């Protein structure tokens, strides 16, 4: 193969890999992820994994999970590593930006709230409007 062809092939594979890693969980797993609130600072999603439910590889920016019900998720990462997440109701878990796939490997439904952080505001917001209740 010519060197130029190899370069283009490598660039194409990198692009495909980056596109796969940038998949939105709401698009990949609409039965699992439901957006309940969104603005220019955060996106809040309710997640519900019934036993055996899976979601393919998807990505999150920095985010945290508030666990609503006990459950066990098996997480798989692009580099081939895997880990189990044992969530207990009331847990709050911070997770740096990452890509993973997930499966409920437990016997109970796993529910939680995922809050993804967007870019921070450049100017602090201080107004009467900032004290209003959040709505969808």
Concatenated DSSP letters for 34-68?
EEEEE-SSEEEEEEEE-TT-EEEEEEESSEEEEEE
pLDDT for residue 10 is more than 60: no
Tokens of 121: 């505001």
Q: pTM (2 decimals)?
A: 0.73
Q: Could you give the domains of the chain?
A: 21-120 (2.60.120.10)
When pLDDT is cut at 50, 70 and 90, the band that residue 52 belongs to is very high
- Residue range 49-54: mean pLDDT, rounded: 98
pLDDT tens, position by position, 75-129:
999 999 999 999 999 999 999 999 999 999 999 999 999 999 997 656 655 555 5
pLDDT for res 119: 78
User: How crowded is residue 80: how many other Cβ atoms within 10 Å of its Cβ?
Assistant: 6
Residue 22, pLDDT score: 63
């Amino acid at each position: 193969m010519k060197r130029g062809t190899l370069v283009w092939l490598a660039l194409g594979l990198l692009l495909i890999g980056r596109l796969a890693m940038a998949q939105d969980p709401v698009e990949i797993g609409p039965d699992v992820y439901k957006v309940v609130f969104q603005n220019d600072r955060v996106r809040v999603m309710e997640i519900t994994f019934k036993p055996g439910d899976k979601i393919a590889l998807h990505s999150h920016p920095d985010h945290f999970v508030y666990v609503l019900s006990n459950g066990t998720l098996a997480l798989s990462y692009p580099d081939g590593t895997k880990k189990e997440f044992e969530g207990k109701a009331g847990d709050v878990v911070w997770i740096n930006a990452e890509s993973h796939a997930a499966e409920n490997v437990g016997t109970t439904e796993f529910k939680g709230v995922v809050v993804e952080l967007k870019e921070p505001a450049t100017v602090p917001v201080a107004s009467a409007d900032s004290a209003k209740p959040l709505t969808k």
